A and B are shown apart, each in its own frame.
Chain A
């Protein structure tokens, strides 16, 4: 019986959050169809990727220790239980090194009777470049759009941002690293349709790539990675500059990324959208054309159309995030303050309720302590603790009683 691992390694911003949410919520339906999606929590594959690639991630790395080996073990167990296919998906796997890829493939049974099929979803650079900058800002980056573009257009790729961007976005290089030990017909490239197309088209392509056609899946997921406009991203960057020194990652995630970015600012859809600067379009077109030619030449299985990688033409009115309209930023800031105030009010009500519960508990405790016998015992202990002989006597009593606690 053939056993197959479908390994989806990227790229970011290609609908991966939605895909992973559908797979996670439909684990049981998939299992009934002989497909394993081994995950005990939404971010199980993210943690496994962090572990495989030895990446620190705002304190999450402690939760990731051993996660890749656990995941590979669950894949082997699924095969032992009779499943024929296992799916692993996380977009940051795109940047793994050859050594890490070798370890990943070997742990999944590649070369030992298991067929590993690689899936890479790709989107045009016209959308990916601004989206990656925004993702950086949502992960506490303080650099402006211009500085970001300077770093990614530097051919040396010597900075962390430049190295990371191309590590997760340079399609031929990702396929080169991950596909080194795989035959080309085991590699599938899924293209993201151009903007304005039917929203379900991308899912149909994913469904085809992962062999999900004909399985009755619940597709009404809520998890997605919403995008922000120009003034909203600028506001977030300014917040990062002010708060990075003081706000720990554990607080940044729920307050800034979730409450402000995802739940508040992403709802402001009327503001100017982030875009690729018009002067970079010729460079992006040339680069995309070379990628398309390379992928075609290698003979991979393409689901969609490689022409999707060309991207849209330059926008008519480009809004520069480094020179935003301050009125728009101020309006976004008012929305942000409102959201924080409402959240703060909710927390105040929670605090008041908890104070009331605590006072009630204290009252009950005091009533219990108000009994005459308790008062006598307490006075005796206080008196004994005041002198060396008394403390020794108390020590003897506590040892005889068999408790290590110092309380009376």
Chain B
């Protein structure tokens, strides 16, 4: 005699088979109850709903389907959840759920774990121009005649421009080098600093990042432009140290004809990278985490459209004050500045107001998983 639990389980296994075959019917609309058990235990509601979303967005391959169904979400959060209606008599464990009602974050935990595992599998893939290995190769062949320079300031801009110059045979450094401290609007520099952490060894979420900067009552050291100038001036073997706020002038300062603009990664894509990084840190050491995020994930995410993270209204007062104070310190100290010092000031139209609003980190994660498959 079959019990209600047997019926519920048969219905659930039927839904699993439906999803494995590419189905998109939500759990609550699934009524067929004629499937045998396909495993020792039912996959979690998070995994099954992620598979349904993948099916809605494309055609995941069999390998990806297996990986999703057998995944465990990394990090702390809710455990693998049961489907509502399978075992009404169950008295212990977390409450069963309607998978369609799960918040995006629960599905994203599973998805970022899979993306991180995918990045690990792609270790050792071919070296492409711009890759760290390529850069290391290029570093071995510096040009004989080149301008001595070093870039500092905004970490996103300075690292990307330095990488490009190194790839062109122009490594930084040398006695008497000029130091160019790159700057932008303070909200943009904050977003860039956060992005460097997200594609590096980790950073808090954007709201937590801002809250921490505010609690410290000082801007991150790398974007405190007068502070950076002062530190470099105190170093031996350093030539002229100045702030560059007009990036069009940078090629001339470093002795090249042109430098490509550094692409930004929109807020939702950076948040995805941050969460993939959290999961990636469970598989590889920090240096390799930075390498994989920067050389494999970032080039893909640079093609995503959307806006940089915005400073929410509750933080705007102190960001405005910090920007104004920085501008005043630069002018008062009389440091050489290329460009208009007012560039530093915060404006709230959004750093990239013309761009389309982005999709969610989960939508983007699903897109990447389907591309991987």
Contacts and interface: CB of A to CB of B under 8 A. Distances in A.
Interface of A: 51, 53-56, 61-62, 64-65, 95, 97-100, 102, 155-158, 160, 163-164, 166-167, 170, 172-173, 176, 180-181, 245-246, 290, 294, 385
A245 B283 contact: no
Contacts of A155: 95
Contact of A55 (B74, B80, B91, B93): B74
B220 interface: no
Contacts of B79: 95, 97, 163, 167
Given A172-B92, A245-B215, A99 B283 contact: no
A157 B93 CA distance: 10
B210 to A, nearest CB: 11
Nearest to B91: A290
B167 interface: no
A170 B283 contact: no
A71 to B, nearest CB: 16
B85 interface: no
Contact of B72 (A62, A99, A172): A99
Given A95-B79, A180-B41, A166 B94 contact: yes
Contact of B285 (A62, A157, A180): A62
Interface string B77-102: 11110000000000111110000000
B283 A56 contact: no
B355 interface: no
B284 interface: yes
Nearest to A290: B91
B347 interface: no
Given A54-B282, A97-B72, A98-B41, A176 B78 contact: no
A392 to B, nearest CB: 10
B44 interface: yes
A160 B77 CA distance: 5
The B interface is mostly helix, strand or loop, or mixed, namely loop
Interface of B: 40-41, 44, 70-80, 91-95, 113, 175, 211-212, 215-216, 278-279, 281-286
A163 B281 contact: no
A156 B285 CA distance: 36
A99 B76 contact: no
Nearest to B214: A245
B283 A176 contact: no
A157 B95 contact: yes
A385 B92 contact: no
A54 B95 contact: no
Contacts of A246: 212, 215-216
B249 to A, nearest CB: 27
A62 to B, nearest CB: 6
A180 B95 contact: no
Given A65-B284, A95-B79, A245-B215, A56 B93 contact: no
B75 A56 contact: yes
Nearest to A157: B94
B72 A156 contact: no
Contact of A102 (B40, B76, B78, B284): B40
A166 B81 CA distance: 13
B40 A156 contact: no
A98 B95 contact: no
B70 to A, nearest CB: 6
